[in-house]
A and B are shown apart, each in its own frame.
Chain A
Amino acid sequence: MAGQKLYPRATVKKIVKAHSNCNVSKNADVMMFLDYMLFMQTLMREATIEAKQGGERGITARSVKKVTADSLAKFRG
């Protein structure tokens, strides 16, 4: 994480701009990405738990898919 960019800022801006049909102010994307990181954290945590409960080795697509809806619901405004 140290050397390289954490994320392409322009991409995040573009994505959100496309979805919201709004402009994105200069530094709002940082917060957005912070939110995204929190989401990923939640998602991976839930997926890990789910995988452990399912007796899987590592995180699989099944566990991720299973927890996606819940995680998204948590991050709904």
Chain B
Amino acid sequence: MARENQHPDATPSRRASSAEPFASSNRRSVFRTPASQGRGLPRPQGLSASGRKVAPPAATPHARAAFRTIDSRRAAIFTPHRARRKSLREVRDSPRDFLLSLGRVLARNTEVITTSSSSSPGEADRTVASDGPGNDTTLGSINVDEDDEDDEELPKRPRLSLPIDEEDEDDSDDLQPHRSVLIDDDNNFTMQSIEMPRRAYSEQPMNRFSMGSVRMSDYFDTHDMLHSEDVGIDSGFFPPTAALDETNIAMGLEELPSPERLDSDANRPDPGRESDFRIDIPVGDVNESTFLMAPQVVDSPDGPPGRLPVATAEVVHDDYAPLLDQRSDDYDDEDLFGGVPALEDEPLEAQNEQLHDETEREPMTARGPQDRRLTKKTIKVSKYGIEYPSLPPAVVKRLAQNFARANGAKGKITPDAMKAIMQASDWFFEQLGEDLQAYAKHAGRKTIDESDVLTLMKRQVTIYQWVSRYCYTWLTLSRQRQINPNTTPFALAQRHLPRELLQELRMPPPVVPKKRRKTNGGTEDEDVT
């Protein structure tokens, strides 16, 4: 009678038992066997739920136990979870169930109490509804009966544990606004030191390329500005020293963590503790921030103001960055101060510093090379102090126009665009030279070989013949390398190079010759969108 009276919410689980396929009854017997065996009743002979022969009574107790466990495991595998649960529940049938069903009849409107331990509310509902009679305490069910209004409060019980996934998301969400708000609060110079980690979070290879790239910064700073000026002043002696200096300025900071930095890392805990002592003073005179970490936050503007107008931006940065790091570390224990986070921050700082350098020099860069380019023919000097020409614009323009037309661009390439393309090709050759040098040196050569170029091309990644050709989704976008079985260097060369140059190339025989593309019109076909 209890089953008929049940609330529609809870019925399906119960009803299912009547509609349950016959296997479940078998399974129940499997589940009960241990108990019956324990009581010494004879075990039913025949086939178990899994169809395997049950252990003969003559078997040793160990063997029987083993068979039993195997059987129960199999049954567990093939049993849907709900059926398993139910079979257990019937064992525990008690007068409490009658109370529960009575409650369901009397108070239909009450909502099921969700337990705080489960992560998702929907799941919680289900488990409570189906498991209620078995697992819930009577207290919970009584509550459902007695006070309908109170159970609104029940789900809001303080949770002792938060689901992990949510916490992670919250964490990241918390940190980001925290920083941005910080920036809003500090309207002054501190802003830079605070903003830096935000930039660093988004630090990706692409991002680095956009502004703070090593190579571009080399180009921007050293080549266009420093060098072109250096050439005028003292072009004679700068090759060895200047090269060293530049690498240190522009790119070296990342690669060579200087001992001072390590020292400063080691020293970090000290200023942090000092700031603990100074808590009260800075809060008063500088802007109030609402954060809990306020004392240390305000600590950073507190120290420098005397120094700041005098100090260059780099000094400011050096002063602030460690403080900032501490602030972010304050969430954790103090032992973390000198440890891992500091090491993590190091390249970021270097990166930021580099950015800083660029921003400092950029105004000069903006006017410097432009004028020069207008006035006379460019003299560009690589970082090794070797002058180099750029490709003749006619060649570049012809190439560009060919490829642009192949891509379906209409119209001509404007002079401005041409300038940008020239710049890009200069950068390309600079990058090419450095990469090739790395490969050649790695091979222990002083000469760049064809093999180096091949290696380079094999490593270069390009989104080759993308969506238009394969209609891939964005995920499968086929980030192919420049050279793969489909595009052998031979095929590429044959497609792009005139015959006399092809003859110069001593190509390794293509591995998959039958896969080779058609050479004529291949570019035109594939690239028209």
Residues on B facing A (Cβ under 8 Å): 205-206, 209-210, 213, 215-216, 381-384, 386-392, 395-396, 398-400, 402-404, 406-414, 416-417, 419-421, 423-425, 427-441, 445-450, 452-457, 459-463, 482, 489, 492-493, 496-498, 501, 504-506, 523, 527, 529
Residues on A facing B (Cβ under 8 Å): 1-2, 6-8, 11-12, 14-25, 27-28, 30-45, 47-49, 51, 57-61, 63-65, 68-77
Known: A18-B433, A43-B400. 16 other contacts (CB 8 A): A6-B497, A15-B389, A18-B386, A19-B382, A19-B430, A19-B432, A25-B450, A30-B450, A32-B453, A35-B432, A36-B425, A40-B400, A41-B403, A44-B403, A64-B424, A72-B209
Contact: B452 with A36, CB < 8 Å? no
Report chain A residues within 8 Å CB of B414. 58-61
- The listed residue (B205, B384, B407, B432) touching A36 by CB distance below 8 A is B432
Report chain B residues within 8 Å CB of A68. 420, 423-424, 427
Contact: A30 with B505, CB < 8 Å? yes
A74 and B463 in contact (CB under 8 A), knowing A16-B436, A22-B437, A43-B424? yes
9 intermolecular pairs with C-beta atoms under 8 Å apart? A7-B391, A14-B389, A20-B436, A28-B448, A40-B399, A49-B529, A68-B423, A68-B427, A77-B431
Rounded to whole angstroms, the CA-CA distance of A18 and B57 in the bound complex is: 90
Rounded to whole angstroms, the CA-CA distance of A65 and B410 in the bound complex is: 18
Contact: B428 with A39, CB < 8 Å? yes
Rounded to whole angstroms, the CA-CA distance of A59 and B403 in the bound complex is: 11
Contact: B413 with A25, CB < 8 Å? no
A23 and B448 in contact (CB under 8 A), knowing A74-B462, A77-B460? yes
Instruction: Give chain A nearest CB distance to B463 CB in angstroms.
Output: 7
Instruction: Give chain A nearest CB distance to B423 CB in angstroms.
Output: 7
Contact: A59 with B417, CB < 8 Å? yes
| CB nearest to B384 among chain A residues | A21
A30 and B501 in contact (CB under 8 A), knowing A19-B382, A21-B437? yes
Report chain A residues within 8 Å CB of B381. 18
Rounded to whole angstroms, the CA-CA distance of A52 and B450 in the bound complex is: 37
Rounded to whole angstroms, the CA-CA distance of A21 and B247 in the bound complex is: 14
